[in-house]
Amino acid sequence: MSPKQTGGKPRSAAGKRGRRPADEARNGGRTRSPGPDTRYGGPPTGRPAPAAGIPVSGRPLPWTREGRLFPAPGPEAASLLVEYGMVLRQVLPLRASHARDLPSAIQSLSASLTSERGAGPKPGYLSDPRMLAAYAWYFLPWNLYRLIRLVRGLALDLPDRSVVVDAGAGPLTFVQALWIAAPDLRSRPLTFVCLDRSRAALALGRELFLTLAGEQSPWRVETVREELPRLPRGGADLLVAANVLNELAARRSASLSEKTARLAESLAGGLAQGGRLLVVEPGVRASGKLLARLRESLVDEEGLALLAPCPHPGPGPLAARGSGTWCHFTVDAVGVPDWLEALSKRSGLPKRDVSLSFLFAGGPGGSVDPALGRVVSNPFPAPGLEGAFARYACAAGGLRLYVTPGRWGLV
């Protein structure tokens, strides 16, 4: 969980610059809150008085960096993103008139996809050639970039003959992102079952993937015209649902709680024994709230364990504060190809960073390490601990403070 974070220089919810709040922190391997520690400038004077008036649980914990989400694209991934412009030109070439219209089409689709504006795009909008071109040339590569950053930070080691089900696959964005981000998986025989309501999007995605990976790829890709919440039962070693919650919420067939509970049941029921679930949404408030509801249903009703970003199954402390915050991540847009940056500027939609909310879950719930936390703030002087610095982290029991002797330790 995090308010705002970047791969290089993250920004907190307050907008100040810090360092890498996507880290996991642990209290040096101990499973209980430590007592006073003179290494951090003396014992705390009672309960810490945290910055910004945010209540925390327990005493401060010493910081040990353990892991990090959203690493920047490596050289190979960055090179493939540069080449992706040529892949698009080969598969979806634009006539001169269509190329001139592309920035306008991108702006129109952006307006309809933004949750705060109107009722959203019409169902099946990717079947409209103009909207499909706008999506393929702008939204698809930016979504590829987001997913590449995410996949590189997750443990998605899929054994041979694993089955991946992509619900709401669109133009096979996740399949392409996985191929770019996980070179160790490219030689493994994997099966991808990609579901979407738009035949045009699925067909385009298949062509893009084959152009990117080559006809001889051992990955078997099946495309099926289908839509959520209908999913095949019990066959997915990895089930992916990316950018689908807002479309599901827009339907008026039932209450939001009923729809998220039904979706949670469908997603959990689609997993094979030991299967994992990855849900990815835009980093906007509306999507974060929907994902929080889905999280509750997956944990409370379906019994799934949370693998990331949450270090515990309890209520999210950011939402519990009642201050309008929500769990999402923002990363600096580093390693973005020049052609995509140029098109973004021509469309009036340049990006300095990208954001997302996500949930990675699977298997039955296990024991929770109370020492493990997900960093949700920039470093700040630790209250009551002279010379020390601290960060907030989401942990079992609520927000915790993780402390180090100096700011340098919080990277």
- Domain coordinates of the chain in residue numbers? 23-68+370-409, 75-364
CB 357 within 8 A of CB 375: no
DSSP state of 156: -
Q: Which amino acid is at 351?
A: K
List, in order, residues 6 or more apart from 367 with CB less than 8 Å away.
none
Among 268, 260, 294, 288, which Cα is nearest to 1's? 288
Handedness of CA 73, 212, 276, 243 (dihedral sign): positive
Q: Which residue numbers in the chain have pLDDT < 50? A: 1-22, 27-53, 117-118, 409-411
Please give the angle made by the CA atoms of 232, 233 and 235, to the nearest 5 degrees.
90
* CATH number, domain 75-364: 3.40.50.150
Instruction: Please state, in angstroms and rounded to a whole number, the distance separating the CA atoms of residues 250 and 273.
Output: 32
For position 2, what pLDDT does the model report? 38
Task: Dig out the tokens for 339 from the structure.
Answer: 């052609």
For position 57, what pLDDT does the model report? 62
Among 92, 162, 168, which Cα is nearest to 123's? 168
Instruction: Please state, in angstroms and rounded to a whole number, the distance separating the CA atoms of residues 378 and 411.
Output: 10
For position 63, what pLDDT does the model report? 59
To 10 degrees, what angle do helices 75-91 and 173-181 make?
140
R_g over Cα of the chain: 22
Instruction: Please state, in angstroms and rounded to a whole number, the distance separating the CA atoms of residues 63 and 390.
Output: 8
DSSP state of 408: G
Find tokens 């307050």 and name the residue.
14
Q: Return the percent helix, strand and coil in the chain, to nearest 5.
A: 35, 20, 45
Task: Dig out the tokens for 61 from the structure.
Answer: 């914990």
Handedness of CA 74, 133, 339, 111 (dihedral sign): negative
Instruction: Please state, in angstroms and rounded to a whole number, the distance separating the CA atoms of residues 26 and 371.
Output: 5
CB neighbour class for 150 (10 Å; exposed up to 12, middle 13-18, buried from 19): buried
For position 131, what pLDDT does the model report? 92
Among 154, 178, 10, 180, which Cα is nearest to 68's? 154
Instruction: Please state, in angstroms and rounded to a whole number, the distance separating the CA atoms of residues 387 and 402.
Output: 14
In this predicted model, what pLDDT tens digit does every residue of 296-336 receive, in sequence order? 999 999 999 999 898 888 887 776 655 567 888 888 999 99
DSSP-derived 3-state class of residue 404: strand
Cβ-count burial 66-85 (b if 16+ within 10 Å, e if not): eebbbbbbeeebbebbeebb
pTM, 2 dp: 0.81
Instruction: Please state, in angstroms and rounded to a whole number, the distance separating the CA atoms of residues 287 and 282.
Output: 6
For position 184, what pLDDT does the model report? 96
Task: Dig out the tokens for 146 from the structure.
Answer: 């987001």
CB 150 within 8 A of CB 167: no
